[in-house]
Amino acid sequence: MVDLIADFLRQYGIYAAIISILINILATIVGVFPTFLITAANIVVFGLWAGTLISFLGESLGAIAAFVLYRKGFRRRAQRILDYYPRAQRLVNLRGREAFDLIFLLRLLPFAPAWVSTFGAAIGKVPLLLFIAASTLGKIPALLMEAYAVYEVTRFQWQGKTVLLILASLLAWDIWKRLRRQEKN
């Protein structure tokens, strides 16, 4: 799949980066296609740093576009459904620092579906600027870890895979702990 995307991008020459960003935006909005495949193709086509930057731009712009679209399309309907799920409603109605922290932490997970945090924030009470800040800042380390992992996989090194597994496990444990603590309050 990565080779397919990379070959597709190569066909567009100097426009390949723009095409990649647009594909990433679309993938982020739709939320069913794993964007790490696009990141892998970007690294293959553009190199580690340029590929990572192109993926970062695409995913960040995609998250903003998805937030706006989800808010316009799903907010009212989702709020009615959430009346039946008080725990989920508490998470969706977070504001300020708590909302920032949760979005940031969810975006830190490199291979977690971004639509979860985007959808939750969009149907909740999170302002657009707070979402942009938390989502973008959380995506920086996540995308660096993802890009490094993809880069190592393309080079068949076990060290990168081990580091990624340890970091992802620590991040998942931290998020689990924070969610459990918040559930008790």
pLDDT at 42 over 90: yes
User: Each residue of 86-133: pLDDT tens digit?
Assistant: 666 666 777 888 888 888 888 887 666 778 788 888 888 889 999 999
pLDDT of the residue at 88: 63
Residues in CB range of 57: below 8 A, 6 or more apart = 21, 24
Residues in CB range of 134: below 8 A, 6 or more apart = 99, 100, 101, 103, 104, 107
pLDDT of the residue at 111: 63
The answer to whether 98 and 68 are in contact (CB under 8 A) is no
pLDDT at 23 over 70: yes
Mean pLDDT score of the chain: 85
